[in-house]
Structure 1
Amino acid sequence: MKPSIKDVARLAGVSLGTVSKVLNNNPTVKPENRMKVLRAIAQLGYRPNPFARSLASNKTYMVSIFLPIMSSEFYAYLFEGIDDELSNAWYDSSIYPLFSKRRLVDYSNPNAFPYQSDGVLLVSLIPEKLFEGGHVPTKKPVVLVDACSKKYDSVYVDNVYGGYLAGKHLLEKRGEVFLISISEKGKPEFASGVFEQRRRGFEKALKEAGLALPNSHVFEIGESFPEAFTVAREILQRATLPVNIFAVCDTLAMGVVEAVKESGLTLGTDVRVVGFDDLKWSEKLGLTTVRQPIVEMGKKAATILLKRIVGDDSPRYEVRFKPKLIVRSSTGR
Structure 2
Amino acid sequence: MGVTIYDIAEQAGVSIATVSRVFNNHTRVSEATRRRVLRVAAELGYQPHVSAQSLARRKTHLIAAVIPVLSNFFYMEVIRGMQDAVAESDFDLLLYAAPSPQEIDSQLERALQKGRADGLLLLSTPLTEAYRNRLKSARGSIVLVDAADPDFDSVSVDNVKGGYMATRYLIDLGYERIAHITVAPEPPPAVQRRQGYEQALREAGRSVDPALIAASGRKPYGFVEEAGYEAMRQLLERDERPDAVFVASDIQALGALKALQEAGLQVPRDMGLVGFDDIVVSKYVGLTTLRQPMYEMGRIAIEKLLSRLKHPERSVSHTVFSPRLVVRRTCRSRAVREVSGMSDR
Shorter-normalised TM range:
0.7 to 0.9
CA distance in 1, matches of 2:238, 2:187: 32
2:196 alignment partner in structure 1? 201
CA distance in 1, matches of 2:120, 2:325: 32
| Contact residue 183 and residue 227 of structure 2 kept, 8 A | no
Aligned amino acid, residue 199 of structure 1: R
Normalising by the residue count of structure 1, what TM-score does the alignment of the two structures yield?
A: 0.77
CA distance in 1, matches of 2:331, 2:140: 47
| Superposition RMSD in Å | 3.5
Q: CA deviation at 1:100?
A: 6.7
CA distance in 2, matches of 1:271, 1:141: 46
Q: CA deviation at 1:129?
A: 4.0
Alignment partner of 1:91 is 2:91:
yes
Q: What CA deviation, in whole Å up to 9, does each residue of 1:255-307 have, x standing for no partner?
A: 12122333333312221100111111000010001111111111001001111
Percent of pairs with identical residues: 30
Q: 1:213 aligns with which of 180, 201, 208?
A: 208
Aligned amino acid, residue 327 of structure 2: V
1:78 alignment partner in structure 2? 78
CA distance in 2, matches of 1:106, 1:43: 37
Distance change in 2, residues 1:321/1:134 (3 Å) = farther
Distance change in 2, residues 1:200/1:151 (3 Å) = same
Aligned amino acid, residue 289 of structure 2: T
Aligned amino acid, residue 211 of structure 2: S
Q: What CA deviation, in whole Å up to 9, does each residue of 1:133-177 have, x standing for no partner?
A: 363432221111111111111111111001011011110223311
Secondary structure of residue in 2 paired with 1:245: strand
2:140 alignment partner in structure 1? 140
Aligned amino acid, residue 212 of structure 1: S
CA distance in 1, matches of 2:68, 2:241: 38
Secondary structure of residue in 2 paired with 1:330: coil
Structure 1: gaps spanning 5 or more residues: 1-8, 10-14, 25-40, 185-190
Structure 2: gaps spanning 5 or more residues: 1-8, 20-28, 39-49, 334-345
Aligned amino acid, residue 317 of structure 1: S
| Contact residue 54 and residue 60 of structure 1 kept, 8 A | no
Distance change in 2, residues 1:143/1:262 (3 Å) = same
Distance change in 2, residues 1:233/1:324 (3 Å) = same
Aligned amino acid, residue 59 of structure 2: K
| Contact residue 289 and residue 326 of structure 2 kept, 8 A | yes
Q: What CA deviation, in whole Å up to 9, does each residue of 1:80-112 have, x standing for no partner?
A: 111111111031122223557677368559972
Aligned amino acid, residue 201 of structure 2: L
Normalising by the residue count of structure 2, what TM-score does the alignment of the two structures yield?
A: 0.75
CA distance in 1, matches of 2:236, 2:107: 46
Q: What CA deviation, in whole Å up to 9, does each residue of 1:195-234 have, x standing for no partner?
A: 0110000111111110112111111223332342243244
Aligned amino acid, residue 144 of structure 1: L
